Every structure is written in structure tokens, then in C-alpha cells.
Structure 1
């Protein structure tokens, strides 16, 4: 009787050990905290990037829909400050 019990217990213990080795790393993959960009609904930056008026700034008001020839928003004005032609390209360029 002891021999038949060993024949059953040994494969079961071995299977549980192998299963725990395989499952343990995969269980930890989904447990990481989301990145800050994954939390935000709309990606934006905390500042203005010179020469890039298209970047959305978190510190300014939300941007209205951009229409060619319309007045620029605050982010575009700040980003194009002291850059000749930058604001004209933003206003008249492709939407």
C-alpha cells in the first residue's frame, strides 16, 4: 500500500512544483503600477517646448478645435515667442 501511495503523491507534488514555477512569474506581470501617462486621459506636458506650438500644455486652458486662419491659442503664442515665421506657419499651415 505504501508503494502505491508514493506512486501517486510523487507526480502530484512534482506537478504542483512545476506549476508554481510557471505561474508565479506570470502572476506578477500585471501587478505593476500604471505609468503617469497611462493615468491621464489626454497626454500633455508641463511646460512649453520652443518651436513646437502643437504640443498640448497641461498648465493652460483646453485647446479649442484648430481651424486654418483662426487666432492661435496661448500655447502656440508662447511656443512661437521670438521665433520668426513660427506663428504664421501655425496659423496658416495644415490643421
Structure 2
């Protein structure tokens, strides 16, 4: 009877060791959350869409209705008639 208990204890100890080997790294390693968050901007310019925020240029100045457009709007509206006017005078 004691050999059965010893075998059972060895199997349980081995199972606990294997489980700990797979579970411990996931519990101990803390993933860097800042690297996985999306940026609120994109790389490049979308032609015809001056309202999107581009990472290529610095922070956008506050938009004033009827005011001067920023560099992203000027480049994005190149070749689209009425696009820059809609950006400047629109909501």
C-alpha cells in the first residue's frame, strides 16, 4: 500500500512541476502595455482626407473656421478641387 502512495505522490509532484513550468512565465512576465497601444495618428497622407491626423507632422494647430489650413490639409487636398475650401470653411 505504501508503494502506491509513493507512486501517486511522485506523479502528482511531477504534474505540479510541469504545470508550474508552463504557468509561471505567464504570471511573472509583465507585458509592456504602452507598446501595444495604437497611436492616435497614422503614417503618411491620405489624399482627399485632410481631417485625419498624420504622424509625419507635429501637433496640429487649433482649427479656426476661415483660418489658414495646416500642412497636412494642404498636402492631402492637392489635386482635389473644393477639398481645401471644405476643410477651411467646413465644421
TM-score by length of 1: 0.62
Provide the rounded CA distance (Å) in 1 between the counterparts of 2:16 and 2:86: 65
Q: Structure 1 residues 58, 92: closer, same or farther in 2, change over 3 A?
A: same
TM-score by length of 2: 0.64
Shift of 1:76: 0.2
Shift of 1:79: 0.5
Partner of 2:81: 84
Partner of 2:43: 46
Please list the CA deviations of residues 52-78 of structure 1 after superposition, one character each: whole Å capped at 9, or x if unmatched: 101222232321111222211011011
Count of residues in Structure 1 that have an aligned counterpart in Structure 2? 89
Task: In structure 2, list runs of 5 or more residues that go unmatched.
Answer: none
- 1:1-95 equivalences under 5 Å are 2-3=2-3, 6=6, 9-10=9-10, 12-13=12-13, 15-17=15-17, 19-20=19-20, 23=23, 27=26, 31=31, 34-35=35-36, 38=37, 42-94=39-91
Task: State the secondary structure of the residue aligned to 2:72.
Answer: helix
